[in-house]
Structure 1
Amino acid sequence: MAVEFHGTVRRWRDDKPGGLAVVDVPAEFVAELGGRKQRRVSGTLNGADFTASTMLVAGGGFCVGVSKTALKSAEAAVGDEVEVVLQP
């Protein structure tokens, strides 16, 4: 089952400006994606197909990594709000 949400693209680490970008997954969708485990997911980012990995965030959060290629396909950048559809 797919989950849909809006989120803001942010840097994984603020001290690494060219590093990984992520979108935080709202807590209500974590269980539907298989719980707080790292795993591969597929879906769309602003309607553009992409595959990624989910990741744990310190302090109890959960996010999905977004590659530079996926951002380009989605016509998005760090700081932008995006529409995310994910399937485990």
Structure 2
Amino acid sequence: MTVEFRGTVRRWDETKPGGLAVVDVPAGLVADLGGRRQRRVTGTMNGADFSGSTMLVAGGGFCIGVSKAALKSAGAAVGDDVQLSLEA
């Protein structure tokens, strides 16, 4: 099953410039990605090969960590909207 969505790249901790970047997963797609548990995911981001890990967010959110290399490969940066296509 492939899960597709658009999201905005943001910093995990806005007080730490240059820190981890993440994309929030829409609540309606969390179950399609295997539920609220940490796991590796693969697919594409803006058409470029991508791999990352899902993470729980305080308050009930769920996101995917995005490396600097993945952002560069996808031609994206913090603050940009990206298209993700992930294998679930």
Q: Indicate the TM-score class for this superposition, using the shorter chain for normalisation.
A: over 0.9
- After superposition, what is the alpha-carbon deviation per residue over 1:22-67, rounded to whole angstroms, capped at 9, x for unaligned? 0000011100111000000001110000110000000000000000
Shift of 1:86: 1.1
Paired residue secondary structure (2:43): strand
CA–CA distance in structure 1, aligned partners of residues 65 and 87 of structure 2:
14
Large movers: runs of 4+ above 4 Å: none
- Give the equivalent residue in structure 1 for 2:78: 78
Structure 1 residue ranges without an equivalent (≥5): none
Identity %: 75
CA–CA distance in structure 2, aligned partners of residues 64 and 47 of structure 1:
17
The alignment covers a number of residue pairs equal to 88
CA–CA distance in structure 1, aligned partners of residues 54 and 42 of structure 2:
10
- Give the equivalent residue in structure 2 for 1:49: 49
CA–CA distance in structure 2, aligned partners of residues 10 and 69 of structure 1:
15
Shift of 1:87: 1.3
TM-score scaled by structure 2? 0.98
- Give the equivalent residue in structure 2 for 1:17: 17
Q: How does 1:1-16 map to 2 (within 5 A)?
A: 1-16=1-16
- Give the equivalent residue in structure 2 for 1:39: 39
Paired residue secondary structure (2:6): strand
